[in-house]
Structures are given as C-alpha cells and as structure tokens.
C-alpha cells in the first residue's frame, strides 16, 4: 500500500493508472475507520483494479462549536486496517495541502442541504460537497462508495455528481450496525457507557416506525410521534429531529408514499447521533 500526502503525486499516479486502463474505486473518509468503512472498502476492492482510501478530517464541514479538534485521529490503526483490506493508495493530505492560502471556491447543493441535519448544522454540507468535489478531481475515480448511514450526505453528493457531470458512478452501501442495532459511527466512541446502552433505541424506534408504515399507517405525524415517544421513554437522548422524507430528494413529505426515508438525529450528552431507515409505501 502506498501512502500519498500530496495532491500532485496522487493525480500523477492515477493518470498513469487510467492510461493503463485500470479502473479506480474511491472511499472518502474522515478516518477512525470502523466496520462500516470496511464494508465500503471490501465492495470497492471487489469491483475495481485500484482502491483509493482518503482519510481527511475536513475542517470545512465542522461548525465553529463542533468537534473538529477532538474528532478521533487514528492514523496508525487506520493504516493497518487499510492494508488488511488491500487498499492500494491511502491518501492522507494535510489541511494546508487541501486548503492552501487564498482558497475561495465552494460547491453548494441548494435546498436538500437545508433540511434535516442541514438545519442544525448550517454550512456542514457545503463543506462536504466542496471537499468531495475536490477529492473527485484529485482521485478521478470511476466509482465512489458512500454509506447509507449518512443518507443526506449521500443524497447531496449524488445530486452534486449528477448536476456537475462528474464522470463517476456513485454506489451507496448499507449501514453496518453493532449487535444491538446501533449504526456504526466514529462518534460512538464519545458515548458514556450508559448512553451507549440507551442509543440502541434509535434503530429500534426506526424499525417500529417502518413496521407501522408497512401495516398501513401513512400519517407522517403519527409515525414521527411514535418514534419520538419511544426515544423519550427509553433513553435520556434529546431529539434534534425525527422526519419522514422522500428518499431521493430528502425533502419532507406531507403523507408517506413511495420510497420514504425515516431519518433522525438525537443528542446523547454532547454527542449527536444520526440514523435512518427506508420504507416503500
């Protein structure tokens, strides 16, 4: 496995590889890799000649009061895991390499980044779309692998690649969960033991919501109430949002119909967890 830290070097490497007819798959991450990332890397490995993993804790997607400084950095363990998953190139740029002096350019996906997490994290998705736009130009992948756990991010990035005509296919892979159903996330390690135990309520409540839709309940308010009350009853979590949205556009629905996503964000202490589930109504 090559570890590359400069934009120019990786662009040169990839250009050569593509000239030789190799296909390139790409998994962008902020590191602190877990089994969710691993499942992306495995699919990427199966489907491409060259697997590129980027690890970059992107300051652009953290708000001023968010956890940029304390976000877990695990370069050594990430490297070991990447080797084990047969990554070819691990791209580890510095903040200065990605945002040199005089930086002025941003990519924004309007509307769909203003709802759900976009409401409580203004500017977050602009940071995400900008850095992934940059990474797509740097890595020039044929296929980009994203996790369904960050559903709004996946939707906004899919919209961005289509709107800006990036020559890339986006594949969104299922959320990987702990034994009790909690969605894997690098932020789970922030949780106290008690909160970690309680956090399983998120997926439990989402499954209950889905069951209710399948059973014929198409009222957005009823589904949301059911989920909210279960979370409140069974945990100390403070709800940021619970919403029913169109799974493609992530825009709120008035009535549950078509491919619907039930999405939520809940605070446990200073840690904000997100999760979602898809249901066809």
Residues in contact with a copy of itself by CB under 8 A are 7, 11, 15, 18-19, 21, 102-112, 129-130, 133-134, 137-138, 140, 159-160, 163-167, 249
Residues 6+ apart with CB under 8 A from 266: 199, 202, 231, 235, 237, 238, 239, 240, 272, 273
| Catalytic pick among 34, 37, 124, 280 | 37
Looking up tokens 């050594």 gives: 76
CB of 237 to a copy of itself, least distance (A): 32
**Nearer to a copy of itself among residue 21 and residue 216 (C-beta):** 21
Task: Report the Cα 89 to chain-centroid distance in Å.
Answer: 21
**Nearer to a copy of itself among residue 140 and residue 264 (C-beta):** 140
**CB–CB of 184/209 below 8 Å?**
no
**Nearer to a copy of itself among residue 33 and residue 156 (C-beta):** 156
Phi, psi (rounded to 5 degrees) for 154: -60, -40
- The Cα 111–Cα 228 span in angstroms is 25
**CB–CB of 40/146 below 8 Å?**
yes
- The Cα 113–Cα 149 span in angstroms is 16
- The Cα 77–Cα 92 span in angstroms is 14
Identify whether 37 is a catalytic site residue: yes
CA angle 131, 134, 138 (to 5 degrees): 135
- The Cα 27–Cα 38 span in angstroms is 10
**Nearer to a copy of itself among residue 35 and residue 110 (C-beta):** 110
**Nearer to a copy of itself among residue 121 and residue 134 (C-beta):** 134
Active-site positions read 37
């Amino acid at each position: 496995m090559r570890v590359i830290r400069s934009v120019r070097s990786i662009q040169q490497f990839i250009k050569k590889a593509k000239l030789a007819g190799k296909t390139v798959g790409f998994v962008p991450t902020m590191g602190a890799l877990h089994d969710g990332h691993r499942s992306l890397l495995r699919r990427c490995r199966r489907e491409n000649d060259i697997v590129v993993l980027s690890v970059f804790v992107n300051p652009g997607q953290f708000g001023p009061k968010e956890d940029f400084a304390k976000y877990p950095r695990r370069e050594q363990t990430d490297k070991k895991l990447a080797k084990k998953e047969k990554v070819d190139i691990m791209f580890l740029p510095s903040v200065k390499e990605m945002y040199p002096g005089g930086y002025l350019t941003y990519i924004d996906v309007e509307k769909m980044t203003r709802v759900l997490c976009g409401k409580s994290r203004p500017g977050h998705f602009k940071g995400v779309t900008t850095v992934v736009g940059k990474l797509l130009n740097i890595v020039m992948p044929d296929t980009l692998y994203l996790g369904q756990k960050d559903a709004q991010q996946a939707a906004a990035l899919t919209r961005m690649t289509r709107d800006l005509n990036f020559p890339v296919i986006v594949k969104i892979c299922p959320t990987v969960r702990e034994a009790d159903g909690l969605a894997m996330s690098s932020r789970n390690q922030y949780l106290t033991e008690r909160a970690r135990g309680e956090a399983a309520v998120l997926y439990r409540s989402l499954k209950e919501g889905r069951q209710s839709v399948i059973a014929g309940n198409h009222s957005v308010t009823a589904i949301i109430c059911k989920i909210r009350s279960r979370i409140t009853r069974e945990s100390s979590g403070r709800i940021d949002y619970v919403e029913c949205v169109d799974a493609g556009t992530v825009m709120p629905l008035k009535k549950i119909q078509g491919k619907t996503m039930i999405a939520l964000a809940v605070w446990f202490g200073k840690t904000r967890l997100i999760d979602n589930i898809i249901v066809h109504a």
